[in-house]
Amino acid sequence: MNAFFCVRKLEPVGWIFAAMNFVFLGCAMALGIFLVVESVPILRSEGLSFWLGENWWVGESFGALPMICGSLIVTGLAIFFVLPVALSGALFTSEYLPPSFRRKVKGVMELLAGVPGIIYGLLGVSFLTLGVKDALNLLDGNTFFTAGLLLAIMILPTVLTLSEDALHSVSYEFREAAESLGLTKLQTALRVVLPQSLPGIVGAVLLGIGRAMGETIAVMLVVGSLDRVPGFNLFVSGQTIPSKLGREAAEALGSGLHWNALMGLGLTLFLVVAIITFSGHLFIKRCNQ
């Protein structure tokens, strides 16, 4: 009887959560429909050349390939730089630090994760671009490499603190069982704790990828402004989808195909992030089975 009344008391809360989920789903669907509708004119005009074309000349042709490649390169560099540091820092914080000191480190990481992107962008312009330029003897420090390094610094606190939460949430019974079998603390962390927390770490990385791919101002300040496919050279200026939108959205508002082309870029970014997120959910679901 008591259990029945508890369930009855929780029903309104369940309805509230269900309503919030429907609102979120509706907003996502509305955003997707808006981007599709606004992108239809440029897709009719350019076809597949919109995604495969390399030339972006306002009023003549709109090729999104340089921006798509730029976004993938910058995000890939950021994840490449951040994963070793974030995972090793999360393992050290979770498994080796005393509880009191761990809470202080977590507080600092969460504070850094909330710093606005424009602050990182200003620091990147002031120090990072000059450092990359002088260290690598380049003519210009605004490069894909600089943008990837800056994004790695930006998403490091987020990936680190969420990965640490996933590691710390693993039951101590697993640690005790591993230590009773003679495993060292490092072996326990790498062979027992890390595999158990893998779904949570994947979620942290996906959140980092989402922030990296959607970052506008910070990347726009350090990546340059050239619409070209970089090839295998990471030390040249370029563009990403968010930086292109940030530079041209205000002047293109209501200007025909130029605006539609920018909305096509937004749709492309929306689809890429959705595909990555969906793939991550499938991976997490398979790990939990």
pLDDT of amino acid 229: 83
DSSP per-residue codes, 135-173: HHT-S-S-SHHHHHHHHHHHHHHHHHHHHHHHHHTS-HH
pLDDT digits (tens, 9 = 90+) for 102-146: 888 888 888 888 888 888 889 888 899 989 988 888 888 899 999
**Nearest to residue 75, comparing CAs of 278, 241, 200?**
241
Phi, psi of 138 (to 5 degrees): -100, 160
The verdict on residue 23 lying in a domain is: no
The verdict on residue 9 lying in a domain is: no
Q: pLDDT exceeding 70 applies to what percent of the chain?
A: 92
Phi, psi of 233 (to 5 degrees): -95, 115
Angle at 288 between CA 285 and CA 289, to 5 degrees: 90
The verdict on residue 55 lying in a domain is: yes
Cα–Cα distance list, 121 to 34, 52, 140, 247 (Å) = 30, 30, 16, 15
The verdict on residue 35 lying in a domain is: no
165 exposed, middle or buried (CB, 10 Å; 0-12, 13-18, 19+)?
middle
The verdict on residue 15 lying in a domain is: no
Residue 227: which CATH number?
A: 1.10.3720.10
Q: What tokens does 54 get?
A: 């390399």
pLDDT of amino acid 265: 92
Q: How many CA atoms lie within 13 A of 232 on its CB side?
A: 0
The verdict on residue 3 lying in a domain is: no
The torsion of the CA quartet 27, 111, 217, 154, rounded to 10 degrees, works out to -100
The span from the CA of 37 to the CA of 270, in Å, is 14
Its domain, for residue 53, covers 46-288
pLDDT of amino acid 46: 84
107 exposed, middle or buried (CB, 10 Å; 0-12, 13-18, 19+)?
exposed
pLDDT of amino acid 4: 42
pLDDT digits (tens, 9 = 90+) for 211-242: 888 888 888 889 888 888 887 788 989 899 99
What's the residue count for the chain? 289
Find the helix packing angle between 65-95 and 99-113, rounded to 10°: 160
The verdict on residue 24 lying in a domain is: no
Average pLDDT of span 29-48 = 89
* CA 123 to chain centroid: 20
Say how many domains are in the chain. 1
pLDDT of amino acid 6: 47
Amino acid at 204: A
The verdict on residue 19 lying in a domain is: no
